Structures are given as structure tokens and as C-alpha cells.
Structure 1
Amino acid sequence: MAEISSWYHTREEIEKNSPSRLDGINFKEETFQRWSYTSFLQELGQRLNSPQRSIATAIVLCQRFFTRQSLAKNDPKIVATICMFIAGKVEGYPRPACDVLVVSYKVLYNIKPLKDVFERLKVTVLTGEKLVLSTLGCDLDIEHPYPLVMDWIKKSVKAEDFRRLCQAAFNFVNNTLRTSLCLQFRPCQIAAASIYLGLSMCKMKLPCDGDKAWFQEFGITKRQLAEICDQTLDLYVQDFVIPRGDCKQIKIDETRSSQALQGHQDDKVNCQT
């Protein structure tokens, strides 16, 4: 339990006391690098035809690595490539290191690596795998919000709304991976916030269960729910991200909804009948 707890940090610890910060990398640069290597992993995984769970595992492993190692001393794209290689084995979708390397190079440079370049990269990745595993303490058991989201939606909404709400909530889960939320909150808490945002996106009514708020079963408070929602939506207004058409309006509406969580009585969040 102690090892599991050690992976979770406060937002202040991540933003002010990370190894990268201590090495002189400012918050904005680290935030950009996080967005960059997580986006890289998403594309790499898709080109490898890896399932989303395997991609998500690679991203979480990479994020955890950089809570203990500095961006100033480790190439994030090399570390990300190693994490994808490891994640494939962890999740039961292993790919040969050669395949991962070649596709990784194509994602970065749009060409195949020359033989001598490939051989150097192969040595770097296979050697680097030991550093990544050592840094992570060989703790590779990663939980994800996806099954929690699916189970809750399946039992809570009409069958005709299942697919639409699942897709919206899953999209928000994927978006949280571009932030440091997986380092701050547990999968069940991220699942609750992603469902909340998905419900709002789909303009679906939030359920009521007497005096009990629906999100309580996820072990999350109103304040935590608001914080996760706000940090997820903040991703769309980063100056290195091109916002999509309706994201700005979603942020305005959801920020107001999140703020309203703080003062709502009887632990009910926008509960409609």
C-alpha cells in the first residue's frame, strides 16, 4: 500500500518540486513536454495497433518515471518509447523492440531509421529499459478508469444512451492523460469526473438517488470532482493546444458547474429529475 500511495502527489508538489523543476526546467516547459510525450505515445500506440488500455499504461508509466527523474537528464521521447515497449508486455500485447523502435522513429521523423542509427537506438532503448524499471521499482500494475466508467454507465443510463455517453466519458479519460491528473488522483476519482463531463457534453440529466450523490460511490468529494474537471478542461486553453470548436464553451459552462459543487447542499450535484 505504501508503494501505491507513493505514486500520488499534490498538485503543488508536482508543479513546484518535480525533479525537472529542481534542474531548472520551468513549469510551462514541463507542462509542454508532458503534453508532447503523451501525444507522441498516443500516436505511437495507434500506429502499433495497440489497444487504448496499453497506450494508457505506457503514458502512466512515463508520467510516473518523470516524478522521479528529470527531463533535463532523460530524453522524453526515448523514455516514452521504452514505456510503450514495456506496456505492451504488461498488458498482454507485446511487440518486438525492433517494431516499436522503427514506428517510433517514423512518428518522429517520418522516415525509417538508417541501419547504424537503428542499432544505436536499439542499444539505448534496451539499456534504458533497465533504468525505467529500476526507477519505477518494477511496479507495473496500472489500474485505469475505463472499466469503472463503463460499468457505471451501463447500470445508470438508458441503453440507447450507453454508447454516446461512454464515448464522451472515455474521451475525457484520455484527455486527463495529457495532464498530471493521473499523478494526483486515483482511477475511480478520474472516472467520476469523466462521467460528469461526459454527461454535461451529452446534455444528459445527472441521476438522483435520494439523499446520496451519484459520485459518492467513486470515493470522491465535491471539491476533488471540481478540481479534476477544471484541470481537464484547462488543457484546451493551453497555448500549445489548438482548441476545437466547442471546447471554449464547454470550459465556461463546466467551470461554473464545478464552482457550484462547492456550495451545493446535501451532496447533490446538479441533480435533476
Structure 2
Amino acid sequence: MAPRLSLANPLVTADQLETTPSGRDGVDPALEQQLRCTGCDLIQAAGILLGLPQVAMATAQVLVQRFYYVSSFTKFALRDTIMGALFLACKIEESPRKVKDIINVFDYVIKKKQDLPIIPLESFSPLFYDMKNGLTVAELQILKRLAFNVQVQLPYALLVNYLQCLGLTQHPRIPQMSWNYLNDGLRTNIYVSYQPPIIACAALFLAARQCQVKLPDQPPWWTVFDSDLRDLVNIAGHILSLYHTQPPPDIPLTLPELEEYQSEILKAHPPGAI
């Protein structure tokens, strides 16, 4: 029998979620989550300045999440990976951008996040060449380590369909709130843990709860879209958790910065200290 073509997203296993390559290399789970969140924030900021469609930015963020479940932050610098992921996503979503433009925009958003002086990056400076090399290598590593499986199915179109089915397209808050939850969820692991229909249902579920809008329950509306209530609640919890903590501005973006950052943490909290 010929193999069936599947457009489903590849998902990580429970073991991969529990024990990541970075965790095995000594990166604290809280720091790893902050690194993922920061990387996705920077991609979103850079994508907006580059005038990219949301699908391109979202694809890049999902690729970064996938990449760091098969690779370690201690071996692949976050700065390089997010540039390489966005460059690759631009090609996947047929919205190509020049390497020079991507580098300059990321240099700007990184300096702004770290509250550094915004000095234009010289095209022939050592930093420019370092970032260019990092971007090029990162794109190849993403392709290699993901086995060229860079297909990303996103839940945006599904959300629009679900809103139409439930008669919510004209609601003053739910459509935009649901869309925002889908965007915010990119900073969590939900896009590598659940398929798009469930993520779309979860965003709608959370928005309806926040707006105190009762949706059909005879039968429960989510069952019509092949979703499970436990999954919706779990995804909603992951999204809401983002709003309680924000990554610090000094999150390390390069390998030397990460090594120094972890060294400072170790000095402040040595093993066995009370």
C-alpha cells in the first residue's frame, strides 16, 4: 500500500517535552522557557518591521520551537537560530527578504530590547559578518536537524471557520481576542504538542470564557471540531501562564553570553546552598 500524504504537523513526544537537549546540557527549565519566549518575541518584532505576513512570523516561531527540542541552546545560539528560522520561513511562505535587511532589523530589535544605543550596523563590520555567518549556518542546521520537514500548518484559517460556524464573526471581542491568543501561544510549546484544530478550538474556548459568552453544549461545541475539553483547558493554561512572568531584558542570545549567564547564576546559587 502506498504511504498516505499527511499535512499534520510533527509533534514532540512526552519524553522530549520532559527532557530536552538543553536540559541535558544543564540549562535550567525556567531559563529555557525564557529563551524560547524571547526568541519568539524577537521574531515577531522583526517580522513586523520587515512587513511580513503573520503566517511567515508564525512559521518561523514554530520552527524555532521544534528546533530546540532536537538541539541544545548551549550548542546553537538563539540569535543565529531566530534569524535563520525567519529567513527560511520567508522563503517557505513566499515572502522573501534580503539577508542584509533581516540582519539589520534583528540588530535593531535586539539592541532595543536590551536598552542599548541604537547605532546603525555597518555592512562591513565584524558584527555584521558574524551575524551573516550565523544566519546562514543556522538555516542549514534547521533544515538538517529537522530532516527538511519544515512544513508548518497553522490554525488561523481554522479559527475563522469555527467562528463562522458558531456565529461569532460579528462579536465585538471574541474574534480578535482568539486571534491574539493564537499569536501569544506561539511563545509556548502548544504548537509542537497539539495539532492546529485543537489549538484553534482552545483559543476560541479561552476567548469565550474571558468574554463570558456561553457556547453550545448539547452536544459540547468542541466535540464537533474533534477536540477534547482536557486539551482545551491545558492549552488555555499554557497561554495564560505567559501573562504572569516576562523574560528579563538581559536574556543571553549568543553562546558566550549564555555561558556567562549560567556562570553568574551558579555563583549566586551554588549547588547545595540553602
Alignment of 1:180-191 (within 5 A): 180-191=189-200
What's 1:245 paired with?
A: none
For residues 175 and 160 of structure 2, what CA distance do their matches in structure 1 show?
6
Contact 2:67 2:145 (8 Å CA) reproduced:
yes
Q: Which has the higher helix share?
A: 1
SS, match of residue 236 in structure 1: coil
What's 2:50 paired with?
A: 48
What's 1:235 paired with?
A: 242
What's 1:266 paired with?
A: none
| CA offset digits 1:198-244 (Å, max 9, x no partner) | 11223322124x3x211013322121111111121112122548xxx
1:179 paired with 2:188, answer yes
What's 1:38 paired with?
A: 40
Question: Which amino acid is the alignment partner of residue 93 of structure 1?
Answer: S
For residues 235 and 139 of structure 2, what CA distance do their matches in structure 1 show?
32
1:195 paired with 2:195, answer no
Contact 1:57 1:87 (8 Å CA) reproduced:
yes
Contact 1:189 1:225 (8 Å CA) reproduced:
yes
For residues 226 and 194 of structure 1, what CA distance do their matches in structure 2 show?
10
SS, match of residue 67 in structure 1: coil
For residues 201 and 43 of structure 1, what CA distance do their matches in structure 2 show?
26
What's 1:252 paired with?
A: none
What's 2:230 paired with?
A: 223
Unpaired runs of at least 5, structure 2: 112-117, 249-274
Alignment of 1:66-145 (within 5 A): 66-109=68-111, 110-114=118-122, 115-116=124-125, 117-145=127-155
Number of aligned positions between the proteins:
236
Pick one of 157, 161, 164 that aligns with 1:151.
Answer: 161
What's 1:270 paired with?
A: none
% identical aligned pairs:
27
Where relative contact order (Cα < 8 A, 6+ residues apart) is larger, the structure is 2
Contact 1:168 1:202 (8 Å CA) reproduced:
no
- With normalisation by structure 2, the TM-score equals 0.80
1:7 paired with 2:17, answer no
Contact 2:85 2:138 (8 Å CA) reproduced:
no
Structural RMSD (CA)? 2.0
For structure 1, which segment, 141-150 or 121-130, has the greater mean C-alpha deviation from structure 2 after superposition? 121-130
SS, match of residue 170 in structure 2: helix
For residues 168 and 200 of structure 2, what CA distance do their matches in structure 1 show?
19
For residues 50 and 68 of structure 1, what CA distance do their matches in structure 2 show?
27
